[in-house]
Amino acid sequence: MKKLLTKKIVLPILIGVVFITGSAFKNDFFEIAKQIEIFTTLFKEINMNYVDETNPADLMDTAIKSMLQDLDPYTNFYNEQDVEASRINNTGDYTGIGASVLTLKDKLVIIEPYKDFPADKAGLKAGDEIIKVDQTVVADFNDDAGNLLQGTAGTTVEVTYVRQGKTQTATIKREAVEIHAVPHYSMIDDKIGYVVLRKFNEKASAETINAVRVLKSQGAKQIVLDLRGNLGGLLNEAVNVTNIFIPKNQLVVTTKSKVDKYNKTYYTQKEAIDTEIPLVVLIDGRSASASEIVAGALQDLDRAVVVGARSFGKGLVQRPKSLVYGTQMKITISRYYTPSGRSIQSLDYWNRDESGKATRVKKENYTAFKTKRGRTVYDGGGIQPDVELDITKLSPITEAIVNEHLIFDFATDYYYSHKVTDLKSFKLTDADFNAFKAFLKANNFNFETKTEKAFDDALLVAKDEDLNGVIDAQYNDLLKSLNTYKTKAIDDNKTQIMGLLSEEIVKRYFYREGMYTYYIANNTEIKKGADILKSPSTYLSHLQ
């Protein structure tokens, strides 16, 4: 009832109050003042007179979050803890236990302990489920329980965790933790260097420059820049990373907004490190924001061959705005455009479908643009690679398996039932794949296709029209066909699933460094990028 009141009464009044600009404020001053007065009066009356006890902070939090849901997913409100988390993400520094942690309702799951940092030293492993931090039970903690693990360097925290059904405790001494934007760089062979850029924080360009220089000193004549899984970050760092390979005074990105001061053009400001070295950029469906600016600029300027799968297609720029009491909001202020003039935004948040989901720009509505050398590229659908690889794009069933953490959970079980000591000889077998399929069944994995959902909806309509008796037999036959398809789909995606399983399992035994070593020897995208670079004629053919 409380949520209904908030959404039906409070929410409509809030819309338009927070998101205002200087010019809008002047033009709509009366309307804004009127709505603020209505809201404050209503908010007071609800909290003073509603039949049950209300929590003003919870009501307001629900109202704000519900209002923002009507916009894009990147316009967000941050409380004091969120502001600190955002600072950590941008700087790459924090003080804590040194582990990637997933916050769930009743526990904190260790996703990855960083090698030689406090959690690792204390013996914590990926898959450990923290249920208590000092004397605080995670299930009883209302805020983000992950914040309990942070604190002053040198202080200790006791965690109670569950591992393979057994409850254990560990005392961890907090340290300053540095999260690198470039977690790995190395030589693929005697001529090709490999650089992994995982996020665009304040250190992204500096770390990438250092990696490129070191690799060149080791003999690198070509570079593979890996932006897969890079969700983005700071726009100016995207410009600086592009500047490594693009000369000074070259347009990288343009932002356009309804507010004049946010309409900007961003050019490279420095002399490039190397404008000639052949370059391959790897992207996937989780390459977004600043990653797309870099990949899009290098593609438009015919400076790199882009390999992998279509990027996410964000196309929007956010800016933090300070609010009262240490809170903050991040608001979408503009769209960005690559050097050729294209917007790669793929989701339309203003024209949603019947279920309220943002609609995807249809391919027939894409507009063609030209790169510097006259190649055709398109807007509206993320960055389309010059060389598309089917294995890079997660199939629907693989994505469902990943989203339910079943790859992660299987890797946890595998770690405690198998001994792996040699990275070079590690390889999953058909027996392991069959074990994974049994694991999916044991965990009641049930992938509902869009077709299946549509059939279910159609059957409900048929029941309302008393037609279900006519179509029951055909409906059951369709369900059988779909179940056969889903069973077959797992086998059809064996290569993709086995690759994800191998990477997650390798990380358990040999940390992230071992995973990248495994990548270089086995990853399809890296091998394809290297093959392109090894053939000058093939490389140039993709840029003409």
- List the catalytic residues: 289, 300, 314
Q: Which residues, including other chains, have CB under 8 Å from residue 284's CB and lie 6 or more apart?
A: 228, 229, 308, 309, 311, 392, 393
Q: Which helix (H) or strand (E) holds 369?
A: strand 368-370
Structure tokens at 332: 């979408």
DSSP 8-state assignment for residue 394 = P
Contact between 299 and 383 (Cβ < 8 Å): yes
Per the DSSP assignment, residues forming a β-bridge with 283 are: 308
**Closest Cα partner for 198 from 228, 177, 234, 236?**
228
Structure tokens at 318: 């956010």
Distance CA 305, CA 277 (A): 12
Phi-psi region of 349 (alpha: psi -120 to 50; beta: other; left: phi over 0): alpha
DSSP 8-state assignment for residue 8 = I
**Angle, in degrees to the nearest 10, between helices 430-442 and 494-522:** 130
What distances in angstroms separate CA 414 from CA 245, 295, 435, 445, 526, one per listed residue? Answer: 42, 36, 10, 18, 26
C-alpha angle 105-119-523 in degrees, rounded to nearest 5: 85
Q: Calculate the CA 430 to chain-centre distance.
A: 31
Q: Which helix (H) or strand (E) holds 116?
A: none
Contact between 358 and 352 (Cβ < 8 Å): yes
**Angle, in degrees to the nearest 10, between helices 468-492 and 450-464:** 170
Question: Mind spelling out the 3-state secondary structure of 431-483?
Answer: HHHHHHHHHHHHCCCCCCCHHHHHHHHHHHHHHHCCCHHHHHHHHHHHHHHHH
Q: How far apart are the first and last CA of the chain?
A: 62
Distance CA 83, CA 320 (A): 10
Q: How many residues does the chain have?
A: 544
Q: Residue 200: is it exposed, middle or buried by C-beta count within 10 angstroms (0-12/13-18/19+)?
A: buried
